[in-house]
């Protein structure tokens, strides 16, 4: 298992005092570029050739649409820490219901309807893999240590 820094322990207090429904918006932030709410046609055109069940394809799409996109690339370091911690906590919880999170978001969020997702947890594993790659060094500078993906049970591609 990984060692928690002081910052991580502070974040753990924030996360532990929040409810599951509070964590949902944090986790859905990573999928916002694919949210087809009020943009169904655009998402169908942009993402119709993407297989979200293919780890490599979905990982590359995440990299392009979230981690390298101007609007998301400039997320503040404290917010990156909070997003990463919520993601780590969800992935460490074997009972976390990722499918429910994505499908039951009060009608304001929906992945492209043309996507037939087989494993919702896998989406978040790929999100973590991309976050780890994009943010690991930056967050380490704050004392926040992101565990290796395999430490969270994320298998290699």
Q: What is the pLDDT of residue 2?
A: 43
pLDDT tens figures, 18-48: 444 467 888 999 998 888 777 777 888 888 8
Mean pLDDT taken over the chain: 83
Q: What is the pLDDT of residue 105?
A: 62
pLDDT tens figures, 53-77: 999 999 999 999 999 986 788 899 9
C-alpha distance from residue 75 to each of 6, 63, 101, 108, 138 (Å): 22, 14, 22, 22, 12
0.85 exceeded by the pTM? no
Is 50 exceeded by the pLDDT of residue 17?
no
* Residue closest to 83 by CA, chosen among 65, 108, 66, 69: 66
Is 60 exceeded by the pLDDT of residue 15?
no
């Amino acid at each position: 298992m990984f060692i928690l820094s002081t910052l991580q322990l502070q974040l753990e207090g924030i996360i532990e005092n929040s409810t599951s429904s509070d964590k949902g918006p944090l986790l859905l932030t990573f999928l916002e570029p694919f949210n087809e709410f009020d943009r169904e046609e655009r998402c169908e055109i942009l993402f119709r050739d993407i297989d979200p069940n293919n780890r490599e394809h979905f990982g590359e799409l995440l990299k392009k649409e979230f981690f390298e996109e101007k609007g998301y690339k400039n997320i503040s370091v404290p917010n990156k820490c909070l997003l990463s911690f919520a993601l780590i906590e969800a992935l460490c919880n074997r009972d976390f219901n990722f499918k429910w999170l994505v499908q039951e978001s009060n009608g304001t969020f929906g992945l492209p309807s043309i996507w037939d997702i087989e494993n919702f947890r896998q989406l978040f594993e790929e999100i973590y893999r991309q976050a780890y790659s994009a943010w690991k060094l930056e967050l380490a500078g704050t004392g926040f240590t992101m565990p290796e993906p395999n430490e969270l049970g994320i298998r290699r591609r």
